[in-house]
Amino acid sequence: MSYQVLARKWRPRNFESLVGQEHVVRALRHALDEKRLHHAYLFSGTRGVGKTTLARIFAKCLNCETGISSRPCGKCSACLEIDAGRYIDLIEVDAATNTKVDEMRQLLENAVYTPTRGRFKVYVIDEVHMLSTSAFNAMLKTLEEPPEHVKFILATTDPQKIPVTVLSRCLQFNLKQMPAPVIAAHLASILGEEKIAAEEAALRLVAACAHGSMRDALSLLDQAIAHGGGGVTEQGVRAMLGAIDDAYLYTILEAVANRDAKALLAVAEEMRSRSVAFDGALQELGSLLHRIALAQAAPDAVDAPGSLRERLAALAGALDPEEVQLCYQIAIHGRQDLPFAPDEFAGFTMTLLRMLAFATEERSAGEPAKGAAGGKRSEAAPAGGTREARFDGDWPKLANALNLGGVAKQLAQASELQRFDGESLELCVPPAAKHLAEKNFQDKLRAALQEHFGKPMRLTVRVGETGGNTARDRAAAAISQDAFVRDLVEDFDATIVESSIKPAQ
């Protein structure tokens, strides 16, 4: 007997064996059991998530010889013939190759005739969005008022291309991409039935590479079994897929966190010696940075296996959240720029060096990040161990000198000093700038003050009217007193837009 590929052998034949689409299955089961059957259904979703499979199961439920039910027997001639793809009253049409209006008219002309054997004549039109406008128009009347013995099941990967007039005549179900853990668990159960040994890490790689498609995962699993000579190992799957060893990616980001250009280039060179695909490496680097950002926002979201979990948590503490976001953008843009680089290795290393060049310079190598989860500085300890700085009470001058950027810098420049006693500062921001006084911006300003004064500082920021002694006010005054500006105002009736004035950095 010839070999049957896993995607066909393990194709679900009932709702119970269908994985990952519980929300659709629940609705269809209720409709079948309560005999509340619509005449047209639309299944949308990416490739390999079960649209056609679901259509066949639904056709079995409608035509099973035991009666209409959400649990077809699977043993009668109707069920067996539908599974084998030769049931005469199940008409499957590929709209990608039958796009013309004449073909659609011929198909619909036969719809008026009663089923040959079954209860219903079921039309499954796959990739329905590929039909021409004329073909859609031809089917509208039949789709709106079909004969009682006809059911339409439309499937598409791009519902946006289907006319609204067609969509309004269908019950719509959106099939989701399947999560990688669900795919990996299903693959493990299949291999258990097949009596094939597999490493858990290998199945995770296959599931991740399938990008939510169970059919793609089963095809890759078939390939992995052949590649491994009957077994599925992590090393074999990595070689087959050209997948990046996660250890390289962690080492890269650890080098960025430590400002270690030598280590960064060394790992890049090692990746080149192993013929790693750099486009895929940047893609995986972006995925790792995404997981780090999640770990910083919600530490319980860390999902890395084994020792990598500890390294992921360590990176979440070693990198500033802003730095993670910046590195993510650099990785994404670096991947886009890769085709324009002198060669892929040059493009890859320039992307890594760009991460170093734009990295924050607020801490030295090895110092924990200020804003990362698990790496916050204690306010009871000096920020740098540095000599205590003197302050003459000129807050606008100090606000411009602090090691700050972004919104935290704007907060400092828009604030007016109310009180300073050597251990604490009280600032006031005008109501128009109250959005700058959010806690995370205050935390950054407090950290910069601690770094400047070399000791813990208490900071209070309140919202209220200011007396015009902020860095912004000082800059606005300097602009309005400038002779050239005064001439423009007087001669050309110009107006100074104060919101556009920024203090000198």
Residue pair 255/319 in contact (Cβ under 8 Å)? The answer is: no
**Domain-terminating residue out of 357, 392, 411:** 357
Q: What are phi and psi of 171, to 5 degrees?
A: -85, 125
Query: Tokens 């005054």 sit at which residue?
Result: 477
121 and 15 within one domain: yes
136 and 49 within one domain: yes
Q: What is the pLDDT of residue 386?
A: 39
Q: What is the pLDDT of residue 468?
A: 64
Res 183 pLDDT > 70: yes
- pLDDT band with cut points at 50, 70 and 90 for residue 56: very high
Q: What is the pLDDT of residue 57?
A: 94
Res 24 pLDDT > 80: yes
Q: What are the b/e assignments for 457-486, b being 16+ CB within 10 Å?
A: bebebeeeebeeebbbbbbbeeeeeeeeee
| 1 domain-assigned | no
Tokens standing for residue 100:
């013309």
Q: Note the pLDDT tens digit of each residue in 324-380.
A: 888 998 999 999 889 998 999 999 999 999 888 876 544 444 455 544 444 443 333
397 and 332 within one domain: no
Interatomic CA distance for residues 465 and 432, integer angstroms: 10
Q: Note the pLDDT tens digit of each residue in 287-303.
A: 889 988 988 888 776 66
Which residue would you say has higher pLDDT here, 414 or 28?
Answer: 28
Res 227 pLDDT > 90: no
| 86 domain-assigned | yes
Q: Note the pLDDT tens digit of each residue in 131-146.
A: 888 888 888 888 888 8
Interatomic CA distance for residues 451 and 403, integer angstroms: 8
Res 487 pLDDT > 60: no
Per the structure, the complete domain to which residue 500 belongs is given by 377-505
The percent of residues above 90 in pLDDT, for the chain, comes to: 24
Q: What is the pLDDT of residue 110?
A: 83
Please measure the distance between the N-terminal and C-terminal CA atoms of the chain and give it in whole angstroms: 78
Integer CA distances (angstroms), 19 to 23, 52, 147, in order: 11, 14, 33
Lowest mean pLDDT among 36-45, 96-105, 273-282, 466-475: 466-475
Angle value at C-alpha 57, between 55 and 63, nearest 5 degrees: 100
CATH number for the domain that contains residue 33: 3.40.50.300
Which residue would you say has higher pLDDT here, 94 or 59?
Answer: 59
Interatomic CA distance for residues 251 and 267, integer angstroms: 7
- What number is the average pLDDT over the span 416-427? 86
Mean pLDDT of the chain: 82
Q: What is the pLDDT of residue 380?
A: 36
Interatomic CA distance for residues 268 and 249, integer angstroms: 10
In 3D space, the residue among 173, 164, 174 whose CA is nearest the CA of residue 136 turns out to be: 164
Q: Note the pLDDT tens digit of each residue in 432-459.
A: 777 888 888 888 888 888 888 888 888 8
Domain count, the chain: 4
Number of Cβ within a 10 Å radius of residue 409: 23
| 386 domain-assigned | yes
Chain-centroid distance, C-alpha 259? 28
- pLDDT band with cut points at 50, 70 and 90 for residue 219: very high
113 and 10 within one domain: yes
Q: What is the pLDDT of residue 211?
A: 86
Amino acid letter, residue 408: A
- pLDDT band with cut points at 50, 70 and 90 for residue 27: very high
Q: What are phi and psi of 135, to 5 degrees?
A: -65, -40
Angle value at C-alpha 409, between 485 and 253, nearest 5 degrees: 135
- What number is the average pLDDT over the span 389-395? 74
203 and 300 within one domain: no
| 35 domain-assigned | yes
| 364 domain-assigned | no
Tokens standing for residue 150:
């006809």
444 and 400 within one domain: yes
Interatomic CA distance for residues 480 and 206, integer angstroms: 65
Integer CA distances (angstroms), 382 to 31, 373, 405, 452, in order: 67, 19, 21, 10
**Domain-terminating residue out of 323, 357, 391:** 357
Q: What is the pLDDT of residue 375?
A: 41
328 and 218 within one domain: no
Q: What is the pLDDT of residue 189?
A: 92
CATH number for the domain that contains residue 231: 1.10.8.60
The percent of residues above 70 in pLDDT, for the chain, comes to: 84
| 369 domain-assigned | no
**Domain-terminating residue out of 144, 174, 204:** 174
Tokens standing for residue 90:
């199940």
Q: What are phi and psi of 456, to 5 degrees?
A: -60, 140
237 and 165 within one domain: no
- What number is the average pLDDT over the span 139-165? 89
Q: What is the pLDDT of residue 61?
A: 94
pTM for the model stands at: 0.62
Q: What is the pLDDT of residue 478?
A: 58
Query: Tokens 């009957």 sit at which residue?
Result: 230
Integer CA distances (angstroms), 16 to 26, 185, 191, in order: 11, 16, 19
Tokens standing for residue 314:
């360590």
Number of Cβ within a 10 Å radius of residue 201: 16
Which residue would you say has higher pLDDT here, 366 or 397?
Answer: 397
- pLDDT band with cut points at 50, 70 and 90 for residue 42: very high
Tokens standing for residue 38:
């619509």
**Secondary structure (3-state) at 462:** strand
Query: Tokens 């087959």 sit at which residue?
Result: 240
231 and 106 within one domain: no
Interatomic CA distance for residues 331 and 354, integer angstroms: 9
**Secondary structure (3-state) at 212:** coil
> Strand pairing of 416-420 and 424-429?
antiparallel
Lowest mean pLDDT among 98-112, 220-234, 378-392, 437-451: 378-392
323 and 260 within one domain: yes
Q: What is the pLDDT of residue 474?
A: 62
**Secondary structure (3-state) at 258:** coil
Partner residues linked to 171 by β-bridges: 41
- What number is the average pLDDT over the span 87-105? 82
198 and 164 within one domain: no
